[in-house]
Structure 1
Amino acid sequence: MWCATLTAVFVSLLPKVHGWGASGHEAVGAIAQQFLASEASSFVASTLDSGETLSSAAPWADDVRSESAFAWSAPLHFVDAEDDPPSSCSVSESRDCSDGECILTAIANYTSRVVDDSLSHEQIYEALKFLDHFIGDIGQPLHVEAFELGGNDIKAKCGGSSTNLQDSGLINKRLKADFGSSVATWANTLVTRIKSGEYANLTSDWISCSSTTEQVSRRELRNVETDIKGHLASRSTTPLECPHIWAVEANELNCEFVFTYTQFSDLCSTSYYDGAIPLIELQLAKQGFRLAAWLNVLFDGSPNL
């Protein structure tokens, strides 16, 4: 685990707004909870506190990142892709995570830790909650982008209130307008889309991971199961292939849509909102499904999806 090496001054400069917000992370956890296989479900139930779920536990990592005891975790929520949006989008592990402290290495680290029987219950509990959160974060386009401090330095409005491009007001408006402010109802809608709706034919691709460097014949063999099992055989913190691919995929949305935003216009009352919501919901559905697959491989041996 990373040590608490960040200074208080540095922590004070980190972004204060978290892209998905609590509601977005709760939706990812709620979706994942409905796709857990038996052993993964039992592990989650026995590891989390009584009455706690992947949904309620998902915002925890954001809640504690500003506390001195968890200051070291702040850089692990993102990877600063030094690309050039909207002209060119890319994520490179060697370029963007050269110090080994980013969301790519964090997911690798906590994947190893969550199944490490030598750790205490509290350490495994934290590993699960970090995975719950970080697999959500890596699908957030501005968590895989360095430009304008991941959108934090792009001034915006939402419903007339001043904010920045990483504001979670888009999600909050969607929840209030269409789901009675209920994350559970929203998540159930996304689960229905996954099981029998517009996402149903996409899910196999969500847990298949195509390498950006290997030949096509080898790429076709890579998926969540082979990625995790290969990683656990070495127990290193070397970034896994699937999270890297998910980061690349989310990062591409910065060129395709996110940075089409006109600075100072209202995120929540313009056509930008109408374009953003389908992308947000697709990304949350993907990451919830992927989180379930991740835990299922770890505890049931296969995605079981």
Structure 2
Amino acid sequence: MARLIAPIALLASAALPGALAWGAMGHEAVAYIASNFVTAATKTYFQSLLADTSADYLATVSTWADSYRYTTAGSFSAPFHYIDANDNPPTSCGVDYTRDCGAAGCVVSAIQNYTAILLDARYSAANRQIAAKMIIHFIGDIGQPLHCEALDIGGNSIAVLYDGDGTNLHAIWDSDIPESISGGASLTSAKSWATTLTTAINTGEYKSLAAGWLTGLSVATAATRQATALKWATEANAYVCSTVLKGGLTTVQNKELSGAYTTTADPVVKLQIAKQGYRLAKYLDAIVAAA
């Protein structure tokens, strides 16, 4: 079993350099989608906890965990952003909690543990605020297929080209492909994309799917929280075989991926951002109902 999270140290939240899962824009889009679906009670609860009554109250903290991990106080949290599925893509994909969530923890255990903090009134408001920021971020992370894969450090060591520039496979899934869909990397781009995906959930292509995205979602116990997060990780990981590395390593390594590859990846990225935004809303609703 992954270790429990150590007591949370408070710190200034100045942004620090480093790779951001889904890119800042992707995380902000997830958060904006969630803010479009939470109940009024959930909105009030988290606006109060996060000390932000603006419409951006979830989006503005959605990348905080990526800054925290690069501080001395927060370095322990680096493994919480992913789970290293030791599978064999593209032949076979799958996540095994015992095999893949190391002693330092992983995104599945982190979602469970930080939810426990939010639900426990014995923790200070400051610690519960940090737990909320972590959950908002990690529910985004767990939807990125390469955050649920061990091969080549989640694709970080797979060199590729994108629009002629050298980069890596993980980075294009984090940023290049989402930004090509949304049209930019700004908060405005994230908000606009979230509006489009919210419409798709309410009345468009995702309307018939949305209820199924919530199957098994529960914050009732440690076991159900872990099972919920593990289901999401397993689902994201499956795309490593079906899309990310469908043709094998040789079809992407040192190849230009801004063309046909991105066209194939676009629907998966859209779906995963929409899905995790909707799930984040309902997960936060469940926390408030339980609290």
Pick the TM interval, shorter chain.
0.7 to 0.9
Cα distance change of structure 1 residues 26 and 280 upon mapping to structure 2, 3 Å threshold: same
- For 2:159, which of 133, 139, 155 is the aligned residue? 155
Using the TM superposition, give the Cα deviation of residue 265 of structure 1 relative to its aligned residue in structure 2, in angstroms: 1.7
Q: Provide TM-score, normalisation by structure 2.
A: 0.87
1:246 to 2:253 alignment: no
Cα distance change of structure 1 residues 180 and 110 upon mapping to structure 2, 3 Å threshold: closer
Name 2:28's counterpart in structure 1: 26
Name 1:200's counterpart in structure 2: 207
Counterpart CA distance in 2 for 1:98 and 1:49 is 34
Counterpart CA distance in 1 for 2:6 and 2:260 is 44
Q: Identity of counterpart residues, as a percentage?
A: 38
Using the TM superposition, give the Cα deviation of residue 44 of structure 1 relative to its aligned residue in structure 2, in angstroms: 1.0
Would you say the 8 A contact 1:156–1:266 is kept in 2? Answer: yes
Counterpart CA distance in 2 for 1:136 and 1:49 is 21
SS at match of 1:263: coil
Using the TM superposition, give the Cα deviation of residue 179 of structure 1 relative to its aligned residue in structure 2, in angstroms: 10
1:97 to 2:86 alignment: no
Name 1:263's counterpart in structure 2: 253
- For 1:282, which of 271, 275, 281 is the aligned residue? 271
Once the two structures are overlaid, the 10-residue window that deviates more, 163-172 or 188-197, is 163-172
Name 1:127's counterpart in structure 2: 131
Once the two structures are overlaid, the 10-residue window that deviates more, 141-150 or 40-49, is 40-49
Name 1:173's counterpart in structure 2: 180
Would you say the 8 A contact 1:37–1:300 is kept in 2? Answer: no
Counterpart CA distance in 2 for 1:300 and 1:39 is 9
Cα distance change of structure 1 residues 237 and 2 upon mapping to structure 2, 3 Å threshold: farther
Using the TM superposition, give the Cα deviation of residue 3 of structure 1 relative to its aligned residue in structure 2, in angstroms: 3.8
Counterpart CA distance in 1 for 2:269 and 2:22 is 9
SS at match of 2:255: coil
1:228 to 2:219 alignment: yes
Name 1:191's counterpart in structure 2: 198
Would you say the 8 A contact 2:33–2:277 is kept in 1? Answer: yes
Q: Deviations along 1:128-155, whole A, 9 cap, x unmatched?
A: 0000000111111000000010000100
Q: Deviations along 1:249-303, whole A, 9 cap, x unmatched?
A: 10000000101352112222x101111111101001000000111111111359x
Structure 1 residue runs of 4+, over 3 Å off?
A: 16-19, 177-181, 236-239
Using the TM superposition, give the Cα deviation of residue 158 of structure 1 relative to its aligned residue in structure 2, in angstroms: 1.6
Using the TM superposition, give the Cα deviation of residue 175 of structure 1 relative to its aligned residue in structure 2, in angstroms: 2.4
SS at match of 2:74: helix
Name 1:118's counterpart in structure 2: 122
Would you say the 8 A contact 2:179–2:185 is kept in 1? Answer: no
For structure 2, the residue ranges without an aligned partner over 5 or more in a row are 8-17
Equivalent position amino acid for 1:157 in 2: L
Q: Provide TM-score, normalisation by structure 1.
A: 0.83
Q: Deviations along 1:67-89, whole A, 9 cap, x unmatched?
A: 11100000000000000001010
Would you say the 8 A contact 2:28–2:187 is kept in 1? Answer: no
Counterpart CA distance in 2 for 1:145 and 1:265 is 20
Cα distance change of structure 1 residues 237 and 59 upon mapping to structure 2, 3 Å threshold: farther
Name 2:59's counterpart in structure 1: 55
Cα distance change of structure 1 residues 71 and 237 upon mapping to structure 2, 3 Å threshold: farther
Equivalent position amino acid for 2:90 in 1: P
1:43-82 to 2 correspondence within 5 Å?
A: 43-50=45-52, 51=54, 53-82=57-86
Would you say the 8 A contact 1:17–1:166 is kept in 2? Answer: no
**Matched pairs, number:** 269
Cα distance change of structure 1 residues 238 and 200 upon mapping to structure 2, 3 Å threshold: closer
SS at match of 1:85: coil
